[in-house]
Amino acid sequence: MIHYNKTLVIRFSSVGDIVLSSPLIRELRQRDPQAQVDFLIKDAYADLVRHNPHLTNIVTPGRDRGLKPLLRLRKEIRQRRYDTVLDIHGSLRSRFLTFGLRGVRRINKRIIARAVLVHFKRDIYPLFGGSPGVAERYLETMTPPRVVHDDLALDLFVPTAAQERARALLDATGIGTDAGTVGICPSARHFTKVWPEDRFISVAVSLARRWHAPVAVFGGSDDRDRCGMITRKIAEESPGTRIADFSGTTTLLETAAIMDFCRVVVTNDSGLMHVAAARKRPVVAVFGSTVRQLGFFPVGTQHRVVENLHLSCRPCSHIGRSTCPRKHFRCMLDVSPQQVLESVFELVGRDQPPVSASSSIS
C-alpha cells in the first residue's frame, strides 16, 4: 500500500513543467491536510513553489555541480525517510537520487509512443494509456490516480511584495492597472517553437489600435534582444500606444503579477504560456513543431491554440529544434496574424471592455 504521510515530489525544472505540477501538489494536500509534502527543485526555479501553501518544505540541490553534491543530496533524501517519492522529472539525475529507495513512483512519459509519433508520424498513444496533458501525467503517479473531471486548474501563488512591485512597474511605465493590457510572450527556448517576430508585432499593433490598449512584452534575460526589438517596432508602427518591455527585468513572480492585468496573453509554446494559464488569463498560443499529444497545450484557463494542421512533418521534435529540418518552417510561417487575431476575438470578444484582474493570489 502506498502512504502519503510524508511525500517528496521531484521536479528540478523548467518553468512550465513546474507550474504544471501544481494540481499534483494540491491533490496531495487534499488527500491528507496533515501530511508532509516536500518539493525538490533547482534553486533557480524555487520561487515558483516557494509560496505554495500546500507544501511543507522546499529542498534544493544547491548550486554546486558534480558527483559529491549529488551524493550529499541522496544521503539527505534517505535521512528524511519519505513514505513516497513521486519522481515526475524522470531524468538520470532523479533516478540516481532515488535508486534503491522504496515507495518511488515515476512519471509515465510514454517514450515509445512519443518516439513513434515524432519519427514515424503515427499516433499509437491509445496503446499506452492515451495522451493526457502533462499535469494529468503527473497525477498518474499517485495510487489510486486522480480521476480528472475538471479543467485541471493550475496554481501559482504570488506574494504581496511581487504584486506591489508589479503595480509600481505598471505605473512607472505608463501602462497603468486598468486591466486592459495586451500581453505578448514572443520567445521560446527553441527556434521551431517561435512564431516570427513580425507576426507578433502585427497582432500587438492591431489589438492596441482596436482596443486603445497598452501592450506588455514578457520574456527572460535571454530574450531581451528579441523583445526589445519587437517593443521598438510596435512603438514605431503605433506611436500612441503605451508599451513596456519587461523581459529580463522582472522575476517570474513579478511577471505573473503583471500578467494579472492583461486582457489576453498571446504566446508561443513556452513556460510563460503556463504562467499566464496559472494566473487565469485568457491565452492564445501558437504551436509550431509540437502537437497536443506531447502534453503541453494550455490548461486551467480559457484558451485557443493556433497551429498548422495540414503538415505531415509535425511534430519534428518533442521539445523543439534549433532549425527546421525540412527548411521551409511552414508550421509557423503558415500561421497568419489574422488567424491569431480571430482566435483572440473568439476568446475575449472584438470590443470587450477590460477584464478584472486575477484573484488567484496568496
pLDDT at position 179 is 66
Q: Is the pLDDT of residue 357 over 60?
A: no
Q: Regarding beta strands 262-268 and 181-185, do their DSSP bridges make them parallel or antiparallel, or are they unpaired? A: parallel
Q: What confidence tens digit (pLDDT) does each residue in 24-48 have? A: 999 999 999 999 999 999 999 999 9
Q: Can you list the domains of the chain with their CATH numbers?
A: 6-139 (3.40.50.2000), 160-348 (3.40.50.2000)
Least confident segment among 3-17, 55-69, 191-205, 223-237: 55-69
* Mean per-residue pLDDT of the chain: 94
**pTM of the complete model:** 0.94
Separation between Cα atoms, residue 181 and residue 54, nearest integer Å: 31
Total number of residues shown for the chain: 362
pLDDT at position 360 is 40
Helices 160-172 and 252-259 pack at an angle, to 10 degrees, of 70
Separation between Cα atoms, residue 358 and residue 338, nearest integer Å: 28
What is the sign of the dihedral through the CA atoms of 49, 144, 32 and 279?
positive
- Give 89's pLDDT tier (boundaries 50, 70, 90): very high
pLDDT at position 142 is 93
pLDDT at position 62 is 83
Residue 51: strand, helix, or coil? coil
Q: What confidence tens digit (pLDDT) does each residue in 284-320 have? A: 999 999 999 999 999 999 999 999 999 999 999 999 9
Residues 6+ apart with CB under 8 A from 350: 210
Q: What confidence tens digit (pLDDT) does each residue in 148-201 have? A: 656 689 999 999 999 999 999 999 999 999 869 999 999 999 999 999 999 999
Residue 184: strand, helix, or coil? strand
Q: Is the pLDDT of residue 362 over 50?
A: no
- Grid cell digits, residue 207: 489589438
Q: What confidence tens digit (pLDDT) does each residue in 195-224 have? A: 999 999 999 999 999 999 999 999 999 999
- Grid cell digits, residue 21: 505540477
pLDDT at position 145 is 73
